[in-house]
């Protein structure tokens, strides 16, 4: 793997680490399988790119993109909490709708960011190579998000949100407004995914409606890889695990794709991802079975 390919993989891993954190919030903390992210990620990219083309400050554009994602999360949460639509279906409805919304936002299928200033522009002139600057800037954002999120989940409010996902009945008996925590968590989760989309657009120089396909699987893969390599119960380390998982996942994909002997090409990415996630989900089960067989044999 060349140096540029390595930093490229780290960069994209860091961008998707924000998706992983969002997916961790919905899947793990709230126990809400949310596919909205396939729509909120390109929504973030679309909103950010459109605003950048219109000459808006890149940080403000990124923030507005995140807010747009939160709104998408709220729509899914409302469909589920208020109108009792099954969570998976509710999120698929929002995701499908967002495809049209994203086309409307951009006015066409993709927007190129060629001459526009991005959050990265001020850092390009500092003497480091561009392919090093990009992951560094994203890293700073990711570290800030991890610290804030860990602080939030360790607060009384955050603890109530975790209880909502673990045992809603008990949480309600302890006075937790579980509906409100579901709304908040879903807004936060999709806000992070949209922020990832905004950074994706700025680091890659374009926004495209199709970039959302499979976002959820990639996010989930990162969460699972993170939980495997860094099995931690403390909130901060679980979140760090998501980030590490996301980077490792991207490096693994890069290795697989650049090893000519295997004969994979870039278009095989989704297949490779699906197989990786399936294996990661099956392995713990196999390990349990093997362990119980071993115990039986020892008897």
Partner 1 sequence: MITVNGIHVTFGRGTPLEKHALRGVDLTIPEGQFVTVIGSNGAGKSTFLGALAGDVIAETGSIAIDGVDVTRWATPKRASLVARVFQDPMVGSCTALTIEENMALAAARGRRRGLGFALRGDRRRHFRDRIAELGLGLENRLHDRMGLLSGGQRQAVSLLMATLAGSKILLLDEHTAALDPGTAEFVLGLTRRIVEENRLTTLMVTHSMRQALDYGDRTVMLHEGRIVLDVSGEQRAGLDVPHLLALFAKQRGGEDITDDSLLIG
**Smallest separation (angstroms) from partner 1 to the CB of 20:** 20
Q: Which of 38, 68, 32 lies closest to 50 in space, CA to CA?
A: 68
Of 28 and 131, CB closest to partner 1: 28
Binding site for partner 1 (CB under 8 A): 152, 154-160, 162-163, 166-167, 169-178, 233
**Smallest separation (angstroms) from partner 1 to the CB of 298:** 24
**Smallest separation (angstroms) from partner 1 to the CB of 162:** 7
Q: Is the dihedral of CA 228, 230, 232, 238 positive or negative?
A: negative
Of 60 and 234, CB closest to partner 1: 234
**Smallest separation (angstroms) from partner 1 to the CB of 239:** 16
Return d(Cα 155, Cα 159) in angstroms, integer.
6
Q: What is the CA radius of gyration of the chain?
A: 20
**Smallest separation (angstroms) from partner 1 to the CB of 110:** 40
Of 123 and 152, CB closest to partner 1: 152
Of 178 and 190, CB closest to partner 1: 178
Of 187 and 217, CB closest to partner 1: 187
Q: Are 190 and 73 in contact (CB under 8 A)?
A: yes
**Smallest separation (angstroms) from partner 1 to the CB of 79:** 20
Of 29 and 218, CB closest to partner 1: 29
Q: Are 279 and 252 in contact (CB under 8 A)?
A: no
Distances (CA, A) of 5 to 123, 158, 225: 20, 38, 21
267-270 contacts: CB < 8 A, separation 24 or more?
270/213, 270/214, 270/217
**Smallest separation (angstroms) from partner 1 to the CB of 166:** 4
Residue 191: which residues within 8 A CB-CB, separation 6 or more?
Answer: 22, 66, 67, 69, 70, 73
**Smallest separation (angstroms) from partner 1 to the CB of 169:** 6
Of 189 and 211, CB closest to partner 1: 189
Token output for 88:
């998976």
Of 174 and 270, CB closest to partner 1: 174
Q: Which of 212, 179, 194, 225 lies closest to 69 in space, CA to CA?
A: 194
Find the helix packing angle between 130-153 and 156-166, rounded to 10°.
Answer: 80
- Cα-based angle 41, 87, 281 (whole degrees, multiple of 5): 75
């Amino acid at each position: 793997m060349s140096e540029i390919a390595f930093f490229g993989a780290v960069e994209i891993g860091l961008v998707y680490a924000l998706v992983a954190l969002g997916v961790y919030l919905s899947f793990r903390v709230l126990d809400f399988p949310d596919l909205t992210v396939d729509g909120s990620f390109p929504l973030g990219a679309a909103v950010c790119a459109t605003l950048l083309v219109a000459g808006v400050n890149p940080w403000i554009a990124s923030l507005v993109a995140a807010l747009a994602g939160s709104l998408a999360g709220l729509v899914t949460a409302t469909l589920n909490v208020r109108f009792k639509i099954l969570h998976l279906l509710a999120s698929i409805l929002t995701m499908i709708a967002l495809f049209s919304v994203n086309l409307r936002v951009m006015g066409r299928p993709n927007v190129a960011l060629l001459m526009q200033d991005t959050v990265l522009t001020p850092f390009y002139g500092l003497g480091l190579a561009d392919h090093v600057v990009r992951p560094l800037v994203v890293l700073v954002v990711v570290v800030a998000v991890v610290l804030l999120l860990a602080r939030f989940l360790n607060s009384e409010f955050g603890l109530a949100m975790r209880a909502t996902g673990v045992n809603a009945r008990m949480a309600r008996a302890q006075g937790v407004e579980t509906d409100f925590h579901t709304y908040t968590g879903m807004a936060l989760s999709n806000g992070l995914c949209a922020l990832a989309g905004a950074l994706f657009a700025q680091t890659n120089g374009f926004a495209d409606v199709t970039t959302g396909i499979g976002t959820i699987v990639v996010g989930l893969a990162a969460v699972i890889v993170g939980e495997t390599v860094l099995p931690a119960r403390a909130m901060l380390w679980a979140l760090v695990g998501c980030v590490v998982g996301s980077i490792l996942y991207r490096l693994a994909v890069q290795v697989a794709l650049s090893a000519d002997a295997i004969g994979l090409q870039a278009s095989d990415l989704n297949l490779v991802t699906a197989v990786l996630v399936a294996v990661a989900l099956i392995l713990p089960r196999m390990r349990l079975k093997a362990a119980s067989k071993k115990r039986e044999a020892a008897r």
